[in-house]
Amino acid sequence: MRLINVTITVVIMVITVAIASCSHFGLNASGDNDSIAVKKPLKGDDNINRATSFYAGISKEGITMSDVDSKAWDEYSQEINKMLAIGADARNKMDSLASADFKDFRDKVDLVFYPFSGADFLYPIILYPDADIFILCGLEKTGAPIGTNIKTDYKQYNSYRTALKSFLKHSYFITLMMKDDLDNTEIDGVCPVLSMLMATAKCDIISIENMMFDDKGKVVPAQGDGNVTKYKFFKKGSSHEQTLYYISTNLRNTDLDPKFLAFLNNTLPKHNVGTYLKAASYMLHWNTFTTIRNCILDNSISIIQDDSGIAYRNFDDRFEITLYGTYKRPLPSFDKRTYQPDLMTAYTDNADKVKPLPFHIGYSEPSNWLCARRKAGK
């Protein structure tokens, strides 16, 4: 009888220890997790992602089409993949450089601000793959969210092929060409091309919403046509939900939407902002763009750009500058005043500190990059 009592006591002790252990690790006796948040698997919108994969030349699975259209899609898919391959080496080298040189701030940046972006999604997601929020903006209209009524005719393929051709060849969208490429009967704005580029970056879209700004600068559902497209998405295999805003707006001082400015003033100070500027047409050099330029300088912990972004003279002692590549005079098609003698002097006088840039980016060949880090306490 005594042996039975001892046995029962030991069993009770074992159970007590087990329950205590479960409690210690946030589990109750039934196995539920109370203290450790378990992320639910993310689920993309099947219809949207079927369409984006189709237009990105990734998959035609589940699409009903004639043999002729199917063959045309196969050819289109091969062409898109060839175009993507042109810049793939440069994008891989950019990722390697960012991993090696920007590790001090890359993981800290939770919001990426990319003015004058056009439909470019590939480069900001490479630089900051784990950012929570991306804010892209440009003159080009948003366009309707990519339709689930998939068109399988050659004309549709050709529109997407044309829209991507110059971007994938040069690493940037050409503004004058975008007026036709992103505003026609087949593609009515940035949104469709942005969506398909998200597919090529192996992202699943959860939702696409047509939005607008209210009087306080808050993003709200649009009543009719809006100038904001909001994406919820995640990288395949990830449980990290991310948000992208594309905003159709003019960034010139006199044309700057006060609602958009309120949105920036309400949003940027709450985040660690990484600004990216590429092929920005030297707009931020001029006094006609001082509001958005000051917004960038006042709120960014890092700025990565080519020479078409913020002029070298506008960086003050709040920032530590690292130069990459080679600086030469801007292309003849740009104003002669965009040449920066002080930037040339910085490259010349600090030649031993200038780092190599092993890929082409932006307008110039050879290319240049500037990385501005905000100094501690500035």
User: Do 22 and 81 have their domain in common?
Assistant: no
Phi-psi region of 229 (alpha: psi -120 to 50; beta: other; left: phi over 0): beta
Q: Tell me the pTM.
A: 0.86
- Is residue 55 classed as helix, strand or coil in its secondary structure? helix
* Residue 154 pLDDT grade (very low, low, confident, very high; cuts 50, 70, 90): low
User: Do 167 and 209 have their domain in common?
Assistant: yes
User: Do 9 and 56 have their domain in common?
Assistant: no
Query: pLDDT, tens digit, for every residue of 84-119?
Result: 888 889 899 999 999 999 999 999 999 999 999 988
User: Do 55 and 28 have their domain in common?
Assistant: no
User: Do 126 and 11 have their domain in common?
Assistant: no
Q: Residue 43 is encoded by which pair of tokens?
A: 């689920």
In this prediction, residue 284 carries a pLDDT of: 98
The count of domains in the chain is 2
Between 132 and 176, the higher pLDDT residue: 132
**Residues whose CB is less than 8 angstroms from the CB of residue 81 and which lie 6 or more positions away in sequence, other chains included:** 57
55: number of Cβ within 10 Å: 25
User: Do 29 and 138 have their domain in common?
Assistant: no
In this prediction, residue 62 carries a pLDDT of: 87
Query: pLDDT, tens digit, for every residue of 189-241?
Result: 788 888 889 999 999 999 999 999 999 999 999 987 889 999 999 999 999 99
User: Do 17 and 163 have their domain in common?
Assistant: no
In this prediction, residue 83 carries a pLDDT of: 84
- Is residue 125 classed as helix, strand or coil in its secondary structure? helix
Query: pLDDT, tens digit, for every residue of 42-83?
Result: 999 999 999 999 988 999 998 888 898 889 899 989 988 888
User: Is 80 exceeded by the pLDDT of residue 149?
Assistant: no
* Residue 293 pLDDT grade (very low, low, confident, very high; cuts 50, 70, 90): very high
- Is residue 370 classed as helix, strand or coil in its secondary structure? strand
User: Is 70 exceeded by the pLDDT of residue 321?
Assistant: yes
In this prediction, residue 184 carries a pLDDT of: 52
DSSP state for residue 140 in the 8-state scheme = S
Residue 11 structural domain? 1-38
- Is residue 194 classed as helix, strand or coil in its secondary structure? helix
CA distance 65 to 108: 46
Phi-psi region of 134 (alpha: psi -120 to 50; beta: other; left: phi over 0): beta
User: Is 70 exceeded by the pLDDT of residue 25?
Assistant: no
* CA 26 vs CA 13, 18, 31, 106, 303: distances in Å: 20, 12, 9, 32, 41
User: Is 60 exceeded by the pLDDT of residue 34?
Assistant: no
CA distance 311 to 296: 12
* CA 22 vs CA 9, 33, 85: distances in Å: 20, 9, 51
User: Is 50 exceeded by the pLDDT of residue 147?
Assistant: yes
User: Do 18 and 49 have their domain in common?
Assistant: no
In this prediction, residue 23 carries a pLDDT of: 40
In this prediction, residue 191 carries a pLDDT of: 84
User: Do 18 and 122 have their domain in common?
Assistant: no
User: Do 206 and 289 have their domain in common?
Assistant: yes
* Residue 165 pLDDT grade (very low, low, confident, very high; cuts 50, 70, 90): low
* Residue 135 pLDDT grade (very low, low, confident, very high; cuts 50, 70, 90): very high
313: number of Cβ within 10 Å: 11
In this prediction, residue 375 carries a pLDDT of: 97
* CA 122 vs CA 93, 128, 233, 345, 354: distances in Å: 13, 10, 14, 32, 26
User: Do 67 and 92 have their domain in common?
Assistant: yes
User: Do 11 and 46 have their domain in common?
Assistant: no
Query: Which of these, 300, 280, 358, 296, lies nearest to 324 by C-alpha position?
Result: 358
Query: Which of these, 134, 118, 110, lies nearest to 301 by C-alpha position?
Result: 110
